[in-house]
Amino acid sequence: MANIREVAKRAGVGVGTVSRALNNTGYVAEETRQKIIDAVNELEYTPNELAKQLFRNRNGIVGVMVPNLEHPFFAKMMRHIEMELSKHGYKCLACNTIGIVNRQQSFMDMLDRNMVDGIIACVDSLADFEGRKGRAIVSMDRNWGPDVPIVLSDHGQGGRLAAEAFLRDGCRKVVQFTAGRKSETTNLRHEVLAQILQENQCEVITIGTKWDALSYAYNKSIVLQYMDVIQEADGLMTNDIGAMSCLVVAQKMGIKVPDQLKIIGYDGTEITNLTYPELSVVVQDCGELARNCVDMVLDMIDGNEPQTMRKIVPVTWKQGGTT
């Protein structure tokens, strides 16, 4: 645990010279540099990042909040965000917000305490954003008001793609499960789906749930609870997990998919490859979402105003065997 002063002493130079040599900043004679390198090796010196961080008032860490790290969609986002951050030399501090009171607030506080340089938040409520205008915060897929830039999928397009698939298959009565709060940006998919289907004389039943809790058991219980509604429908759309739950329950009850019921998953995470038939899905481009979140937050950390307050990323359709 040698420090820079010991290295300097051993090399017979001043600490400033050591710092310059090690950081390649400013001039240092080749001979001197070599003496310093030797001293570093002999002492097994490694710079203390904590001291650098204090000096710079930065620590190169971005906090990433999601409701649940285990949820396939958020896990995927987290993977992409972490890799993208690492490309830029940043580290990723991960945080589950569900199930821990005040977790979100304490995470936001870390910005003030300089424990993170910025935050990417994929969570619902806007708790404690007040007074943090100008801080490096980017929201993923949730509207936190006019002061927080948001990166999100084109859910209007998502709703349209799903509607077109249902119409293509001649559906007359489609059920959709919505998640979380009304008036969320993410509910646009359901509004667009309903509008397009209704314009085409297809009935739409919209059922509100709180899937976001991501209890697989809860998902299934909801499906079971509404099974009578589903049985009378010929189409269904909800998030991946919900859709897969429906598929399983429908199969168990002898409903033929896709003959009697078309099912569309929203998100398109990898797990939708693991059913039979494979789920037809609207795919969110997590790589691109992550890239935009990271670019924006790093730009803000550098002190710039957000280039845009709203970045929309296209979604794609992936045909499976359930439509």
Partner DNA sequence: ATGAAAGCGCTAACAG
Partner DNA sequence: CTGTTAGCGCTTTCAT
Q: Which of 13, 40, 93, 290 binds its own copies (CB under 8 A)?
A: 93
Residue 110 near DNA by CB under 7 A = no
Q: To the nearest whole angstrom, how small is the minimum distance from the Cβ of residue 271 to its own copies?
A: 5
CA separation for the pair 110, 118 (Å, rounded) = 9
Tokens of 199: 């314009």
* Closest C-alpha among 268, 318, 316, 311 to residue 289: 311
Q: Which of 182, 259, 274, 303 binds its own copies (CB under 8 A)?
A: 274
**Residues 1-60 within binding reach of DNA (CB under 7 A):** 1, 3-5, 12-20, 22-23, 25-29, 31-33, 45, 47-48, 50-52, 54-55, 57
Q: How many CB atoms lie within 10 A of CB 34?
A: 12
| DSSP string covering 172-215 | SEEEEEEES-TT-GGGHHHHHHHHHHHHTT-EEEEEEE-GGG--
CA separation for the pair 132, 137 (Å, rounded) = 9
Decide if 61 contacts 91 (C-beta within 8 A). Answer: yes
Q: To the nearest whole angstrom, how small is the minimum distance from the Cβ of residue 24 to DNA?
A: 10
Beta carbon nearer to DNA, 52 or 132: 52
| 100-128 exposure pattern, b = at least 16 Cβ within 10 A, e = fewer | eeebbeebbebbeeeebbbbbbbbbebee
Strand partners, 263: 236
Helix, strand, or coil (residue 87)? helix
Q: To the nearest whole angstrom, how small is the minimum distance from the Cβ of residue 44 to DNA?
A: 12
Q: To the nearest whole angstrom, how small is the minimum distance from the Cβ of residue 91 to DNA?
A: 17
Q: Which of 38, 125, 198, 216 binds its own copies (CB under 8 A)?
A: 216
The bridge status of strand 280-284 relative to strand 315-318 is antiparallel
Q: Which of 75, 205, 224, 255 binds its own copies (CB under 8 A)?
A: 75
| DSSP string covering 262-274 | EEEEEE--GGGGG
Residue 47 near its own copies by CB under 8 A = yes
Residue 304 near its own copies by CB under 8 A = no
Beta carbon nearer to its own copies, 105 or 308: 105
Q: Binding residues for DNA, per CB under 7 A? A: 1, 3-5, 12-20, 22-23, 25-29, 31-33, 45, 47-48, 50-52, 54-55, 57
Q: Binding residues for its own copies, per CB under 8 A? A: 46-51, 53-54, 57, 59, 61, 68-70, 72, 75-76, 78-79, 82-83, 86, 91-96, 99-100, 103, 109-110, 112-115, 216-217, 220, 241, 244-245, 247-248, 251-252, 270-271, 273-276, 278
